[in-house]
Amino acid sequence: MLIVMKFGGTSVGSAERIAHAAQLAVDTAAQGHQVIVVTSAMSKVTDTLITAARLASSGEWDPARREELFDRHQAVADALLGGDAARRGAVVEVLGQRLDRFEKLCFGLSMVHELTPRLMDAISGTGETLSAPLLSAAIATKGRPSQAIDATELIVTNDQFGGAEPLMDETRVKAGARLKPVIERGEIPVVTGFISATADGVMTTLGRGGSDYSAAILGAVLDAHEVWIWTDVDGVMTANPSEVPEARTLADISYSEASELAYYGAKVLHYKTILPAFRQRIPVRILNSFNPSHPGTRVSVEGNPSARGVKAVTSIRGVILIAISGTGMQGIPGIVAKTFDVVAEQQANVLMISQASSENNICFVLSAAEAPRVVNALRVALEFELSRGHIEEIAAEQQVAIVAAVGDRMRGMPGVAATVFGALGSEGINVIAISQGSSERNISLVVTEREAAGAVRALHRAFQLEKPA
Ligand code: ASP
Ligand code: MG
């Protein structure tokens, strides 16, 4: 079986973690699998690079930044490869070259003071080019031949710098030609996550947190059996354990459940990330590198649907409900269109919409950061309707949260909504707005931020999510 495994920043955050990641890759290969490793930068490195780029563009380039990064990575090379002078020397030389390039880019930036998205990608992707040679060398010292490969040689994207989109056909050809001979020889390639290149070879990045996406793209184009995402949690949980102590890890979820949960604030895979895997029906496994014997969560087409309907409960905080209301709105066309034109002009992201069938009220939820400018713009755009009294009020409710119950099996299952409202009612929690998508994979509710944790707990209990399915 071909397995693409990705290690996140904390899973390669120190010499010890890198040695451990290397062991996981080697052990999997020893079980007879072909393994392709994708790695993130060591924890915090990408942030450091981005900060350095920003400072440089305002004229403040400090060469100490290069030294700090060099020292941290060199210390890892010493710890991992100290006993092998030749291998250590080769890796340290590569680290130096990559950081020389970083330094030159920042120095140039401090002269021209213009940080373009293209230049930001060239700088922010440096971290993966440092971690990959370290992890690859760690694998090799454990007796498995390995090579570090820059994903600029594999993943072809458009030129949307800062969040490039892969061109899958081109990537299939390039990645296949480069990686297949390597894995067929029994070597473990260690590929830089996050980075990619245009067809002309200009470096791009896939967006923050993009290493998961790199792994899914490579899994898809190489027809991998599974994609494993090694992270620092056991998997996707029935709720946030800091809010619901009895929350459990879900053994199986579907791609659509994963995307609903990601949308509603659970810290799982980003929707975009699973898309390439989903299209090819390749299961994605979320595993904990700090607790590798835990089976984690498997994301697949079927996802082992739960007879209870609801599988997980999640919440989004820091959001504002905007309500446009007035009895005069009934039957007047265009108010909804005008409203959402304004939202689009303001480039705000609508998290939830609900309209009562009486048409006396439209409400929608935005992040607290976006809400004030949208409300101001709405008051201007709907001035006529306000002055005529078609709209009585444009109100922004402070401090609300969206609580969402998610599960594929809710579809067509009567009684789920009754259980939801019964549970909240018996806790005395007031529901401000409700929405159920026609996909019937989630019911989402707006409650005050103060009551959000209680609402999540009440729903978790009502669907007995603490008990294994
Ligand atoms: N290193 C990149 C970031 O921090 C990509 C990743 O970790 O997935 O955003
Ligand atoms: Mg990361």
Q: What percent of the chain is modeled with pLDDT above 90? A: 83
Can you give the pLDDT at residue 330? 76
Dihedral pair phi/psi, residue 237, rounded to 5°: -105, 165
Give the sheet arrangement for strand 2-7, strand by strand: 146-149, 188-192, 34-39, 2-7, 226-231, 284-288, 297-300, 252-254
Can you give the pLDDT at residue 357? 67
| Residues 206/214, Cβ–Cβ less than 8 Å | yes
Average pLDDT over the chain reads 94
The DSSP H or E segment spanning 363 is strand 361-367
The answer to whether the Cα torsion of 289, 10, 231, 36 is positive or negative is negative
Whose atoms come closest to the Cα of 210: which ligand?
1
Q: How many CB atoms lie within 10 A of CB 450?
A: 11
d(CA 381, CA 313): 37
Minimum-distance ligand 1 atom for the alpha carbon of 213: 8
State the pLDDT confidence band at 335, using cuts at 50, 70 and 90: confident
Can you give the pLDDT at residue 361? 86
Q: What's the pLDDT tens digit per position in 228-262?
A: 999 989 999 999 999 999 999 999 999 999 988 88
Examine the pLDDT at 440 and tell me if it is beyond 90.
Answer: no
- Candidates 23, 124, 12; CA nearest to 72 is 12
Q: How many CB atoms lie within 10 A of CB 104?
A: 11
Pocket of ligand 1 from Cβ distances under 6 Å:
8-9, 40-41, 46, 127, 193-194, 208-211
Pocket test for ligand 1, best of 5, 37, 38, 40 (most atoms within 8 A of CB): 40
Helix (H, G, I), strand (E, B) or coil at 248: coil
The DSSP H or E segment spanning 337 is helix 335-345
Pocket test for ligand 1, best of 208, 218, 273 (most atoms within 8 A of CB): 208
Helix (H, G, I), strand (E, B) or coil at 153: helix
Please give the residue that has the higher pLDDT: either 388 or 205: 205
Q: What's the pLDDT tens digit per position in 264-320?
A: 777 778 878 889 999 999 999 999 999 999 999 999 999 988 888 899 999 999 999
Most confident segment among 327-336, 360-369, 394-403, 453-462: 453-462
Minimum-distance ligand 1 atom for the alpha carbon of 40: 7
Can you give the pLDDT at residue 375? 96
Examine the pLDDT at 150 and tell me if it is beyond 70.
Answer: yes
The DSSP H or E segment spanning 420 is helix 416-426
Can you give the pLDDT at residue 183? 98
Q: Is 378 left (phi over 0), alpha (psi -120 to 50) or beta?
A: alpha
Quick one: average pLDDT of 196-207? Answer: 98
Which class for 101: exposed (0-12), middle (13-18), buried (19 or more C-beta within 10 A)? middle
- Candidates 174, 190, 56, 172; CA nearest to 112 is 56
Most confident segment among 59-68, 87-96, 404-413: 87-96
Examine the pLDDT at 354 and tell me if it is beyond 90.
Answer: no
Can you give the pLDDT at residue 192? 98
Expressed in angstroms and rounded, the spacing between residue 209 Cα and the centre of ligand 2 is 5
Q: What's the pLDDT tens digit per position in 372-415?
A: 999 999 999 999 999 998 899 999 987 899 999 999 988 888 88
pTM: 0.89
Structural tokens at position 171: 């990537």
| Residues 372/316, Cβ–Cβ less than 8 Å | no
Can you give the pLDDT at residue 286? 95
Residue type at 31 in one-letter notation: Q
